[in-house]
Structure 1
Amino acid sequence: MILYIGILIALTGAIILILKPIFKTNEILTKFTIKRSLQLMVLGIALSIISGAFFYAEPGTAYAVQYPWGGQKAVFRQGINTKMWGRLIPLQFELPIKYVIPNSEGNLGDQSEYANVDAAKYWAFSDAVKARIATSVVISINTDDKDQFLSVADRNKTEQNMIRSRVIPNIDQSIKNTCKLMDAQDYISGQASDFDRYFKDQLENGMYVLEEYADNQTREIIGDSSTVRTIVNKETKHKRFRIQIRNGEPVREKGNSLKAYGLTVIQAVVTEIDWEQTFDKRLQLQKEEVAQTQLEKQQAEREFYRAQKEKARGEADKATERARLEKEQIQKTIAAETEAKVAEFNLVKEKKQFEVEKFKALSKKVAADAESYQNAKLVSAGLTPQEKAEWEYKTSVGVARELKELSLPEIFIEGGSSKSTDSNLLQSLIGADLAKKMMESNGQK
């Protein structure tokens, strides 16, 4: 711009200098003296020289300077640099390229002057569903390799030419290939991230070579394993594509990548998709169906949890009843054990008491035998028949009375092995007690 202004000023001074002698009476020309005309010419030439020899590099922009004699250089630093009347090819460090879905009025909205914005195009997915895909792509130029940068600038001449002839065709091809790899239903069902990944990978490293394949229907087992059938969905009768793989790597088209031009893809994402109206209706029906399914699922879950609640309540009641019965059982068991312990203790007590009474009876028997022996001696020593008869009478009376008053143990535990032993023991006890009674009655007399 300054160059053109300088040239214009220099030409103006030269024209005034030429026309002044011819039109001497012209009022305008008379105001310019020869000195002023020369000054205009010098100023114009100076401006032309300055603007042709130097230029101002804006920040964030790389420049390829092509000299008139055939040389060239790359400028990546902002500020004033020399160009020596050479040609400038400016390229931004980062090139924003966007596809935007127009609004109802057809406007693309407010956009930056540094961004390249176009209206989004319609693309067909694998299931023939069409949609306008809005994308946001940011391309970075290579500022590390000056030779590659100068080669790219020399081949493309301008930034807009590079974007229109190199970058945008690659973006369109990437979107087209990626759409072939999936159905629209797959995209909205969770493969949106795969779409972005395929899209960016193809932009940076080259387009995939796609191959068509047959989408075999999955056979469905109905009832038992002996009944198998294949269900064919008419809506799936369309071409299917996949990435051709060789040695574990995707096969790519040669010479069709931005990396070959020293360009790096910093960002490549889908920002918005405007589906065609028929697919929108299908989506709405699917949403309603999903909502109905979710409602039924919630109702089924509610019924399930209600059944679980009743089951838990029944288990709680069973546990309570079981606890009550176990408590009663424990109480009865403890009572029975207590009763058995008491009976065992009473048995031991009665046994000990019997042994005591047994020893008491033996003691009485021994004393009675001693007294009887003594009386026998006395009788044999010289009792008269009248005294002997009286003694026997008293003895009989005393024995009868003692038998009446005789108290034996209420409980008798058999411990012997023969009946004769038991009979002798009983007789001995009775005799001992009678003898004792008689001795006591005689003593009183």
Structure 2
Amino acid sequence: MLTFIGILIIMVGLITLLTKPIFKNNKLLSWFSTRRSLQITLIGIILSIVTGAFFYAEPGTAYAVQYPWGGQKAIFRQGIHTKMWGRLIPIQFELPIKYVIPNTAGELGEQSEYANVDKAKYWAFSDAVKARIATSVVISINTDNEGQFLSVADRNKTEQNMIRSRIIPNIDQSIKNTCKLMDAQDYISGQASDFDRYFKDQLENGMYVLEEYADNQTREIIGDSSTVRTIINKETKHKRFRIQIRNGEPVREKGNSLRAYGLTVIQAVVTEIDWEETFDKRLQLQKEEVAQTQLEKQQAEREFYRAQKEKARGEADKATERARLEKEQIQKTIAAETEAKVAEFNLVKEKKQFEVEKFKAMSKKVAADAESYQNAKLVSAGLTPQERAEWEYKTSVHVARELKDLSLPEIFIEGGNGKSNTDGNLLQSLIGADLAKKMMDSKTQK
């Protein structure tokens, strides 16, 4: 730029110097005196010399300087450097190259003076589905090897030529090869990361050598013989490719690598894919089908858990009913056991009561026998006439009352021949014994 300005100043000085004698009455040329025209011409010459001998290296840019006498050198540092009227080939340290999908208005979006932006192209995947693939690639030059950098700059002449003739063809070839390795359906099903990996690896290390194979052919044995035939479904047949492997490493095309130019791939990713309309419709149908499947799956899970809930509720009700019945059973069992225990206790009580009453009766019988025996002895011993008269009087007076209060034994056991006179004597003896007892008690009290 400064060189052009210097040449322009030299031309102005020379024109004014030559035209002034011709147009003597021109007011504009009258300002340019001969001395002033010579000064302007000298300034232009100095400016041209300075700008041809020196240049300013911008930051982030490498320069290859080619001198008129055939020498050359590389400049990697910013600042003022000499070029001695040599040719400059500036190349950025990092070269951003982008494929962009244009918007509805056909614009590529925001542009940068340091980035090379192009419209994304359509590429065909292995299943013949086409898509416009937007990529972002950043290439770095080798600033450590001066000789290699000068060789690249000398062969490519300009940065733009290197991008168009070396880098972009490699990017296109990498995208093409990578698209052959997978179907569009595979890409959207989880192989997008593989696409980026294959893409970057081919850019940096060289293109893969691909081999064609058929995966839709199945062998079938006919009958019980050893005849084998291959069945091909023509409707679904399409070419499939895979990477040719040798000694565990992919086979690559020779001489087709950015590394041979001292270029390193810093970034190589797919930023966006615009599928063709037919595939978009297919994707929409697949999304709807997946959504419907998910909905049915959720409904099935809901029904399953509802059945589990009802089953759990039934088990809970069953457990509650079982607990209630077991409680009633325990209550009834305890009541029956209690009733049995009470009956057993009452039986024991009755037995004890029976034994007590039995012993009471036996005691009364023994006491009655003793008193009867004593009274019999007293009667057989004889009484005086006065005692007999007193006994008969008391008997006549108190006989009714004594008979009323008389308590005879409930049980009386006696052996004998069972004659009637014996029964009468027995009754008399009992009455007499009781009266005698009363009399004895009265005497004792006197």
TM-score category of the 2 structures, normalised to the smaller one: 0.7 to 0.9
- For structure 1, the residue ranges without an aligned partner over 5 or more in a row are 220-229, 385-400, 408-436
Separation in 1, partners of 2:288, 2:132: 24
What secondary structure does 2:198 align onto? helix
- Partner of residue 98, structure 1: 98
The superposition leaves residues 295-340 of structure 1 with CA deviations (integer Å, 9 ceiling, x where unpaired) of: 4444444444444444344333323322322222222233233334
- Partner of residue 178, structure 2: 178
Q: 1:367 to 1:81 in 2, by over 3 A?
A: farther
The superposition leaves residues 337-384 of structure 1 with CA deviations (integer Å, 9 ceiling, x where unpaired) of: 333443454456556667767877888899899x59x959x97xx968
Identical counterparts, % of pairs: 82
Which stretch shows the higher mean deviation, 277-286 or 35-44? 277-286
Q: 1:81 to 1:327 in 2, by over 3 A?
A: farther
- Partner of residue 239, structure 2: 239
Q: CA deviation at 1:289?
A: 3.4
Q: 1:49 to 1:348 in 2, by over 3 A?
A: farther
- Partner of residue 63, structure 1: 63
Within 5 Å, give how 1:309-388 maps onto structure 2: 309-346=309-346, 349=349
Which stretch shows the higher mean deviation, 159-168 or 111-120? 111-120
Q: TM-score, normalised by structure 1?
A: 0.73
Tell me the matched-pair count. 391
Contact 2:20 2:29 in 1 (8 A): no
Q: TM-score, normalised by structure 2?
A: 0.72
Separation in 2, partners of 1:267, 1:164: 18
Greater Rg by CA: 2
The superposition leaves residues 381-402 of structure 1 with CA deviations (integer Å, 9 ceiling, x where unpaired) of: x968xxxxxxxxxxxxxxxx75
Separation in 1, partners of 2:434, 2:252: 140
Q: Residue type matched to 1:8 in 2?
A: L
The superposition leaves residues 74-119 of structure 1 with CA deviations (integer Å, 9 ceiling, x where unpaired) of: 3333333333322222122222211122344543333222221222
Q: 1:107 to 1:335 in 2, by over 3 A?
A: same
- Partner of residue 270, structure 1: 270
- Partner of residue 138, structure 2: 138
Q: Residue type matched to 2:56 in 1?
A: Y
Separation in 2, partners of 1:361, 1:144: 139
Separation in 2, partners of 1:184, 1:75: 46
- Partner of residue 396, structure 1: none
- Partner of residue 78, structure 2: 78
Contact 1:181 1:242 in 2 (8 A): yes
Contact 1:9 1:40 in 2 (8 A): yes
Q: Residue type matched to 2:208 in 1?
A: Y
What secondary structure does 1:336 align onto? helix
Q: Residue type matched to 1:76 in 2?
A: F
- Partner of residue 34, structure 1: 34
Separation in 1, partners of 2:291, 2:282: 14
Q: 1:362 to 1:73 in 2, by over 3 A?
A: farther
Separation in 2, partners of 1:366, 1:232: 128
Within 5 Å, give how 1:211-230 maps onto structure 2: 211-216=211-216
Q: 1:355 to 1:286 in 2, by over 3 A?
A: same
Q: Residue type matched to 1:269 in 2?
A: V
Contact 2:216 2:232 in 1 (8 A): no
Contact 1:127 1:238 in 2 (8 A): yes
Q: CA deviation at 1:284?
A: 3.4
Separation in 2, partners of 1:231, 1:283: 30
Separation in 2, partners of 1:75, 1:296: 68
Separation in 1, partners of 2:235, 2:111: 41
Q: Residue type matched to 1:128 in 2?
A: A
Within 5 Å, give how 1:240-319 maps onto structure 2: 240-319=240-319
Q: CA deviation at 1:125?
A: 0.6
Contact 1:23 1:29 in 2 (8 A): no
Contact 1:207 1:252 in 2 (8 A): yes
The superposition leaves residues 223-267 of structure 1 with CA deviations (integer Å, 9 ceiling, x where unpaired) of: xxxxxxx99765531111122334443333333222333323232
Separation in 2, partners of 1:249, 1:191: 21
Separation in 1, partners of 2:432, 2:214: 132
Q: CA deviation at 1:179?
A: 0.6
Separation in 1, partners of 2:280, 2:432: 131
What secondary structure does 2:321 align onto? helix
Contact 2:208 2:253 in 1 (8 A): yes
Q: Residue type matched to 2:193 in 1?
A: S
